[in-house]
């Protein structure tokens, strides 16, 4: 997943001590964001718009299968948290913050699954067995390039 670097603040190196201090002072805000995306329909709505296309209320209604009032509430929450932008009446687009959040979640999840597969390979090697239907190609590609697609069968 690649994001445009436009309008993105430079990331400063952060020590674990500073990270701890920041996290301790930011717990309520972080929990608020996590609660916002702790809903499959909200995450689905953000994912539908990840390529930057704008979607109308009617399109979102059809795609999500939600009732009008539920969709309206979810959209309001996502706009309030700056994860979606309301372009015109009934027209929505994912915000830069929404794209960045989804990108970070996807990277975390992908890397977690790659580490999980590697742990399984290591365990199987310890007992002298070769995994069946295992995508070692993705693990090897990740080790070489830092990128990879995980397929667990």
The DSSP symbol for 128 reads: T
Q: What is the pLDDT of residues 103-130, one digit of tens each?
A: 999 999 999 999 998 898 888 888 888 7
pLDDT for res 144: 65
Q: What is the pTM of this model?
A: 0.71
Q: How many Cβ atoms sit within 10 Å of the Cβ of residue 42?
A: 21
Q: Which residues of the chain have pLDDT under 50?
A: 1-5, 150-153
Helices 40-48 & 16-37 angle (0-180, nearest 10) = 100
């Amino acid at each position: 997943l690649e994001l445009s670097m436009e309008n993105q603040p430079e990331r400063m190196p952060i020590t674990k001590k500073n990270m701890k201090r920041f996290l301790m002072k930011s717990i309520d805000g972080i929990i608020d964001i996590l609660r916002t995306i702790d809903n499959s329909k909200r995450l689905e709505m953000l994912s539908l718009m990840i390529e930057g296309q704008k979607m109308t209320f009617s399109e979102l209604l059809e795609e999500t299968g939600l009732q009008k009032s539920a969709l309206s509430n979810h959209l309001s929450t996502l706009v309030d948290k700056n994860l979606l932008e309301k372009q015109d009446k009934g027209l929505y687009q994912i915000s830069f913050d929404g794209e960045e959040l989804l990108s970070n979640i996807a990277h975390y999840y992908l890397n977690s699954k790659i580490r999980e597969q590697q742990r399984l390979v290591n365990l199987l090697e310890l007992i002298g067995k070769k995994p069946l239907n295992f995508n070692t190609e993705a693990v090897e590609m990740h080790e070489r390039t830092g990128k990879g697609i995980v397929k667990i069968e």
